[in-house]
């Protein structure tokens, strides 16, 4: 139990109500913890102001409880608590020292299995900045689930069997220049797809050729099927290299071609049960009675649409794993699709919890992106630009560093920048990805956070001779800035719960930014290195605890912390 949880429980036990609502005042001038008296006052037949005064007196009279507070002050309908600084410092710092990397984690999930499906890429297409939002968001949610005691099962579902594949293969066969280009073939397939899409808009007479290629691939025979297998492997290898660079690990990767046949069998069964119906040569799920419109399942030419594999995959998930819930991280444009899919599964008799976590678009300063038009920033392009800028800055600041040290900073910081930019904005908001803004070392950026962490570690290295072992007297940590930092790191476990409950990693990014600001203010205004030995030891313990919390938060976001930069 954390320090703040313990205090809240003590207050609840004293006042004898489980309905108490605590909050944190906007300024430390008003206290460290606040209790609203509105709801309980009505039950007790008092005004909130009267109840706040009564409760303040009760707590002050309790010697065992009041020792944890410097002051308990009724302010209108609120009861504000000023926590005793030495108790706060001792409790929080020792807890962090004990828990280390586990600080902030809890067991609320009780080991319940939750599968989270993300990075649902398409083979034969570019991996662009929009995909980076999906993979960063999905990975952060998976890590939040684990931090909250759930058994997170991260998986990916790759669409390797759609019409986009046929378009790419059609263009690859008709444009032999691609095979001779000296670039990763998985990357080149994306360019080939964009070109194919544009060609087919101008020359619709070629669409029949694409349909025939798709039919041949689905029949799993012939030259086009052989080329599909070869090009598919290029994409899979390319995706694997990206996952490795981003530090992403999946428990399993599903592929559309592996479940499509099972899905087609399900389609026939659902036709027999009249869950699906035929319409103008196509197969659909008519969901209009549920205000969900119509979900196309099979095209009139006989080729399968996405829901065929989606249905089979959903069934497979629950047969392969013991799951409490299955989460799909897919962009907001697919919201109706998932409502329709979940309704069809419900009609089939599946009662498990299914959740769609949507997220909005990533745009460029010049406008929306599109794989079809080629108006995208690919992962490769973005990575090269960011790495070049970071290397230039690092060489300027550290002329004495060797290439290995510089590469270390470039590797870690480039990924941190990409992930942080994808996570610092709530999933319901559009991201306008601006490289210049992302690379700033001041403001709400990964560079600022990493620098703040590295600065704390630098202070600890300078005073490595000061032992932090044994008992530390924290009574000297009574500066206003110290109390602010202590309260902030004490709240970290609550942020982990909040970010998970809201499925919003930006709650954590915002918290880490605020903590970095407080820590910067602290070591700029409070003398640490020249303080008396006893005080220095306490302040270094606070610095170490703060750096540990930053590191733990980085880890939940999937970001590696840099100790030097």
Q: What is the pLDDT of residues 332-353, one digit of tens each?
A: 999 999 999 999 999 999 988 9
CA distances from 416 to 127, 182, 359, 549 (A): 18, 29, 20, 17
What is the pLDDT confidence band of residue 363, given thresholds at 50, 70 and 90? confident
Q: What is the mean pLDDT of residues 355-359?
A: 97
Produce one character per residue of 451-485: b if its CB has 16 or more CB atoms within 10 Å, e if not. bbbbbbbebeeeeeeeebeeebebebbeeebbbbb
Which residue in the block uniquely carries the two structure tokens 């599946």?
Answer: 350
State the pLDDT confidence band at 42, using cuts at 50, 70 and 90.
confident
Q: For 98-119, what is each residue's pLDDT tens digit? A: 999 999 999 999 999 999 999 9
Q: What is the pLDDT of residue 466?
A: 63
What are the Cα distances from residue 530, in Å, to 25, 457, 459, 487?
33, 17, 12, 24
Task: Please say if the pLDDT value at position 307 is more than 60.
Answer: yes
* DSSP 8-state symbol, 562: P
From CA 214, how far away is CA 197, in angstroms rounded?
15
> Domain map of the chain by residue range?
3-83, 381-557
Question: Contact, 324 vs 114, CB < 8 A?
Answer: yes
CB atoms within 10 A of CB 47: 14
b/e burial code for range 310-319 (CB count within 10 A of at least 16 → b): bbbbbbebbe
Identify whether the C-beta of residue 377 lies closer than 8 Å to the C-beta of residue 131: no
Strand partners, 277: 284
Residue 238 CA to residue 87 CA, distance in Å, equals 53
- pLDDT on residue 223: 95
Give residue-wise pLDDT tens across range 244-263: 999 999 999 999 999 999 99
Ranges of beta strands (E only) in 207-280 are 252-255, 277-279
- pLDDT-derived band at 121, boundaries 50, 70, 90: confident
Is 477 a residue whose pLDDT tops 80? yes
Q: Do residues 153 and 361 make contact, with C-beta atoms less than 8 angstroms apart? A: no
**Contact of 29 with 82, CB cutoff 8 Å:** no
User: What per-residue confidence (pLDDT) applies to 18?
Assistant: 78
Q: pTM of the predicted model, to two decimals?
A: 0.93
Query: What fold does the segment set 381-557 form as a domain?
Result: Isoleucyl-tRNA Synthetase; Domain 1 (1.10.730)
Nearest to 285 by CA among 334, 335, 338, 340: 340
What is the rounded CA–CA span in Å between residue 307 and residue 282?
13
At 130 the pLDDT is: 86
Flag whether pLDDT at 376 surpasses 80: no
pLDDT at residue 366 is higher than 80: no
pLDDT tens readout for residues 505-528? 999 999 999 999 999 999 999 988
Q: What is the mean pLDDT of residues 78-83?
A: 97
Per-residue model confidence (pLDDT) at position 367? 61
* Phi, psi torsion values for 434, nearest 5 degrees: -120, 110
Matching CATH number, 3-83, of 3.40.50.620, 3.30.420.10, 3.30.1360.70, 3.30.420.40: 3.30.1360.70
Over residues 175-234, the pLDDT tens digits come to 989 988 888 899 899 889 989 988 998 787 888 899 999 999 989 999 999 999 999 999
pLDDT value, residue 469:
65
Q: Residue 467: its pLDDT value, please?
A: 65
CB neighbour list of residue 435: distance below 8 Å, 6 or more residues apart = 382, 385, 386, 389
pLDDT of 370 > 90? The answer is: no
Q: For residue 354, how many other CB atoms are within 10 A of its CB? A: 20
Which of the residue ranges 22-36, 137-151, 367-381 would you say has the lowest mean pLDDT?
367-381
pLDDT at 468: 61
Task: State the pLDDT at residue 543.
Answer: 97
pLDDT bracket for residue 153 (50, 70, 90): very high
Cβ partners under 8 Å of residue 350, min gap 6? 314, 315, 318
State pLDDT tens for residues 410-461: 999 999 999 999 999 999 999 998 889 999 999 999 999 999 999 999 999 9
462 has a pLDDT exceeding 60 = yes
Tell me the chain's radius of gyration from C-alpha atoms.
28
Q: What is the DSSP string of 138-187?
A: HHHHHHHHHHTT-EEEEEEEEB-SSHHHHHHHHHHHH-GGGGG-SS-HHH
Residue 126's pLDDT is 85
Per-residue confidence band for 303, with pLDDT thresholds at 50, 70 and 90: confident
What is 30-74 written as a DSSP string? G-SEEEE-HHHHHHHTS-HHHHHHHHHHHHHH-HHHHTTEEEEEE
Predicted local confidence at residue 465, as pLDDT: 64
Nearest-angstrom CA–CA distance, 294 and 533:
73
Q: Is a pLDDT exceeding 70 seen at residue 369?
A: no
């Amino acid at each position: 139990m954390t320090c703040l949880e313990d205090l809240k429980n003590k207050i609840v036990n004293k006042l004898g109500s489980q309905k108490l609502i605590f909050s944190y005042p906007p300024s430390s001038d008003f206290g460290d913890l606040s209790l609203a008296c509105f709801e309980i006052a009505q039950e007790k037949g008092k005004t909130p102001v009267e109840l706040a005064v009564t409760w303040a007196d009760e707590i002050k009279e309790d010697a065992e409880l009041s020792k944890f507070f410097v002051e308990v002050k009724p302010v209108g309908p609120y009861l504000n608590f000023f926590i005793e600084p030495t108790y706060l410092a001792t409790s929080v710092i020792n807890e962090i020292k004990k828990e280390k990397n586990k600080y902030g984690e809890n067991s609320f999930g009780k080991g319940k299995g939750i599968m989270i499906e993300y990075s649902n890429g398409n083979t034969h297409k570019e991996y662009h900045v929009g995909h980076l939002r999906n993979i960063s968001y999905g990975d952060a949610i998976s890590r939040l689930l684990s931090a909250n005691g759930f058994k997170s099962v991260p998986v990916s579902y790759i669409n390797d069997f759609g019409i986009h594949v046929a378009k790419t293969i059609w263009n690859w066969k008709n444009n032999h220049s691609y095979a001779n280009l000296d670039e990763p073939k998985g990357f080149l397939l994306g360019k080939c797809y964009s070109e194919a899409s544009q060609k087919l808009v101008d020359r619709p007479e070629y669409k029949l050729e694409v349909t025939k290629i798709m039919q041949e691939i689905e029949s799993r025979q012939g030259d086009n099927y052989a080329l599909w297998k070869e090009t598919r492997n290029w994409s899979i290898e390319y995706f694997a290299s990206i996952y490795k660079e981003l530090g992403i690990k999946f428990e399993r990767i599903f592929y559309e071609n592996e479940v499509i046949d099972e899905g087609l069998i399900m389609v026939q069964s659902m036709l027999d049960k009249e869950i699906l119906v035929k319409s103008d040569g196509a197969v659909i799920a008519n969901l209009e009675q549920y205000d969900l419109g119509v979900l196309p399942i099979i095209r009139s030419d006989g080729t399968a649409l996405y829901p065929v594999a989606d249905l089979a995959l959903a069934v497979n998930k629950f047969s392969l794993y013991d799951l409490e819930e299955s989460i799909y991280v897919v962009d907001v444009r697919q919201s109706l699709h998932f409502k329709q899919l979940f309704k069809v599964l419900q009609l089939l008799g599946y009662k498990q919890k299914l959740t769609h976590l949507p997220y909005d678009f990533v745009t460029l300063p010049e406008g929306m992106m599109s794989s079809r038009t080629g108006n995208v920033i690919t992962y490769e392009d973005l990575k090269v630009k960011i790495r070049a800028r970071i290397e230039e800055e690092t060489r300027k600041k550290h002329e004495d560093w060797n290439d290995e040290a510089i590469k270390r900073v470039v590797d870690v910081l480039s990924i941190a920048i990409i992930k942080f930019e994808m996570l610092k904005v709530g999933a319901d908001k559009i991201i306008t990805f601006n490289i210049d803004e992302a690379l700033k070392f001041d403001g709400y950026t990964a560079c600022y956070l990493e620098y703040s962490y590295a600065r704390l570690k630098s202070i600890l290295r300078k005073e490595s001779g000061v032992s932090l072992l044994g008992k530390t007297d924290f009574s000297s940590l009574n500066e206003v800035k110290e109390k602010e930092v202590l309260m902030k790191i004490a709240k970290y476990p609550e942020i982990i719960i909040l970010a998970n409950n809201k499925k919003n990693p930006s709650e954590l990014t915002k918290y880490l930014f605020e903590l970095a600001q407080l820590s910067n203010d602290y070591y700029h205004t409070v003398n640490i290195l020249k303080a008396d030995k006893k005080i220095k030891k306490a302040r270094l313990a606070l610095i170490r605890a703060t750096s540990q919390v930053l590191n733990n938060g980085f880890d939940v976001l999937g970001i590696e912390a840099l100790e030097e930069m």
